[in-house]
Structure 1
Amino acid sequence: MARHEHTHTRLIETALKLFETQGFERTTVAQIADAAGVTQMTFFRHFPSKAAVVTVDPYDPAIAAAVGAQAPELPPLLRATRGLRNALSALDERELDTVRRRVRIIAGSDALRADMAAATSATEKAIAEQLPAACSRLAARAAAAAVMAALTAALFEWAHDDSLPMADAVEASLCTLEGRLV
């Protein structure tokens, strides 16, 4: 593992532990940097803000690309739900614990939920841009917004229920959008 990647991973793990024990709002960048054995400047080379440790989602480009890879003749909502399923099925099981921790921290903070809403908006836009040109811009935006709302609901439910697999939570939400019972 390269030095930069090792430091990045250490900062994430350290921040998550501190957020879980002290709360997001009561944890400072100085505390994270100190506990990780780096300077605050190093922290900011890796993250633009404390919130970015938990709200920046590395999966968003993969979700948009998976939506874009769906058959263009499908209706926009079906194309978006299938793309989201494909993108999430590629997640490494080892990553899910970190994702669950991040979502729990976000769910516990008003400020982070607001940041997540902004990030979700950017993902919605990226998904809408991948939907077929044959549908209206409004249809593409509505499908993207619906899928992201369903994903957010599923993630918040999954984060607080250790017995619920993420795939099951997401599937239940997406089936609801498609008008199917789970």
Structure 2
Amino acid sequence: MRERKKQKTRWAIQEHAVRLFAQQGYDATTVEQIAEAAEISPSTFFRYFKTKEDVVIQDRYDDLMIEAIRTAPPEFTPLEVVRHSFLSAFSTISQEEVDQVLARSKLSFTVPALRMRALDNMQASIAVLAAPLAERLGRPPDDFRARAFVGACVGAIINAMIDWVHRDGQMDVLAAMDEALSVISDGP
């Protein structure tokens, strides 16, 4: 229960931050303003997010995808496991959360400081997601081939996300992700 309350606070802070960034611009919005809007202290903000960039970049999807990788049917190929993990994680979120992902993605693609932080986060996510895939394959968690494969899949997903953002969310993002991943198996 305590953990759920912490997560609820975390996402409320993020929601207020994204709203303020959209209204005032990323650079013009301060941590103090975010804290005030979320009715917390600035020190509480920093208990949840180490930096202002993290309030945009952090999400819960790695945990959802790790669980989906671990619970995917044993007969799935590596691509089927990754496809299952991405699609099942994103199909469970509400429309409100999808809108929040769109707003955060727009910020990540347009604010230079966030673009760099998003790249760092992607590299960390690739390693985190590759570990359970490597385990499924009987390899060590830091297996290079598993990381390279997950990195290729993430690259495909990023292209789907870029199209989704450029179309202002006016497309089926799950279908775009699925199509992007099909390029890994089928080629262009």
Deviates more, 1:4-13 or 1:18-27: 4-13
**Unmatched tracts of structure 1, length 5 or more:** none
The TM-score with structure 2 as length reference comes to 0.82
Distance 1:143 1:8 in 2: 31
Distance 2:101 2:38 in 1: 20
Contact 1:78/1:178 (CA < 8 Å) preserved in 2? Answer: no
Deviates more, 1:22-31 or 1:115-124: 22-31
Deviation readout 1:99-149 (Å, 9 max, x if unpaired): 111111111111111111111112111221112334683321121101111
SS at match of 1:118: helix
Distance 1:92 1:55 in 2: 19
Distance 1:25 1:58 in 2: 25
Contact 2:83/2:178 (CA < 8 Å) preserved in 1? Answer: no
Q: What are the within-5 Å matches in structure 2 for residues 90-169 of structure 1?
A: 90-131=92-133, 132-134=136-138, 137-161=143-167, 162-169=169-176
Identity fraction in percent: 30
**Aligned length in residues:** 181
Change (3 A) 1:28 1:67: same
In structure 1, the partner of 2:22 is: 20
In structure 2, the partner of 1:172 is: 179
Q: What amino acid sits opposite 2:88 in the alignment?
A: N
In structure 1, the partner of 2:71 is: 69
Distance 1:143 1:3 in 2: 36
Q: What amino acid sits opposite 1:176 in the alignment?
A: V
Deviates more, 1:134-143 or 1:115-124: 134-143
Q: Which has the higher contact order (CA 8 A, sep 6+)?
A: 1
RMSD: 2.6
Distance 2:146 2:45 in 1: 37
Runs of 4+ in 1 over 6 A off after TM superposition: none
1:179 is displaced (CA, Å) by 1.1
Q: What amino acid sits opposite 1:133 in the alignment?
A: L
The TM-score with structure 1 as length reference comes to 0.84
Change (3 A) 1:33 1:153: same
